[in-house]
Structure 1
Amino acid sequence: MISEARTDEDILATRAVMLQLRTALAPGDYLPTVRSMMREGYRLAALRDDAGEVVAVAGFRSFRMLYAGGHILYVDDLSTDGRRRSKGHGRALLDWLKAEARRLGCTQLHLDSGVQREQAHRFYFREGMGVNCLHFRIEL
């Protein structure tokens, strides 16, 4: 079952899976960071197994971008528990995100993925996603 994490308890239930992706974030900083981001439009969805354990998580937001030609859903974070990969959890969560994007009137779904994440890239390509730009950054 996929649902949005809105309560502190729900957000904390996503922490272990999210920190597998976002390893630089200290566990104690997770809840206040997510809460702060939520005030800026960040949303968090969790896929739970039959026992209620979070097995995959996605952080996302929707906004307008001129280059995209309108409203998009941007996926900040998409992580499946490393012990539970290749069981369809990532696909189920990505399908949910696509449906949520359509519900919001978005015309595109976007995400960035680190160049080192080759396994994730294979998954995104299998799901019909393509590379259409390079993302550049500079530390300030």
Structure 2
Amino acid sequence: MMTEEAKQLTTEQEWTNAFQVMKQLRTHLNLNTYLKLVREAHEKDRYEMHALYDNGEIVSVIGFKPMITLYYGRFIWVCDLVTDQSQRSNGYGEKLITYVHEWAKDKNYESVALSSGLQREDAHRFYEERLNYDRVSYVFKKNLKE
């Protein structure tokens, strides 16, 4: 019997437990840098990390921030969403982001938005075709440490 549960990760130990999955998306991070960034984002920027567990094992992780902008109004910005590579195509990512949709609705947020790397065409199909997300903009970035 499969037992799936989504829950918020709030402790350094829980964030550490999620690192092996998150590292598959954020390959540039080592554990120390990851923990430092998660801690600071959690404390200063309302960042939340949630995980989907199947039979007690983390299979998918999402990080997001509640935000308010003039363009989107009250919305959730998904910063990170990744399913363990050995568990992909089992519906876990869809279950976890649907959980965030419900979380957002319960707290009166109007929408959920995210960006996805240009090269991640499978992810784009997932968002547009499976989840009915609209492609609404491009994201531009300027590195200031050049």
Give the distance between the partners of 1:48 and 1:31, measured in 2 at CA: 20
Q: In structure 2, what is the equivalent of residue 58 of structure 1?
A: 62
- Give the % identical residues: 36
Give the distance between the partners of 1:102 and 1:64, measured in 2 at CA: 15
Letter in 1 for 2:38: V
Offset at residue 26 of structure 1 (A): 1.3
Equivalent residue runs for 1:1-140 within 5 Å = 1-39=5-43, 40-50=45-55, 52-68=56-72, 70-125=73-128, 126-140=130-144
Q: Give the TM-score of the pair, scaled to structure 1.
A: 0.95
Give structure 2 stretches of 5+ with no counterpart.
Answer: none
Please state whether the residue corresponding to 2:24 is helix, strand or coil.
Answer: helix
Offset at residue 27 of structure 1 (A): 2.1
Letter in 1 for 2:64: F
Paired positions, count: 138
Q: CA RMSD in A?
A: 0.8
Give structure 1 stretches of 5+ with no counterpart.
Answer: none
User: Runs of 4+ in structure 1 displaced over 3 angstroms?
Assistant: none
Please state whether the residue corresponding to 2:82 is helix, strand or coil.
Answer: strand
Please state whether the residue corresponding to 1:98 is helix, strand or coil.
Answer: helix
Q: Give the TM-score of the pair, scaled to structure 2.
A: 0.91
Please state whether the residue corresponding to 1:116 is helix, strand or coil.
Answer: coil
Offset at residue 28 of structure 1 (A): 2.4
Letter in 1 for 2:118: V
Higher mean alpha-carbon deviation, 27-36 vs 92-101, is at: 27-36
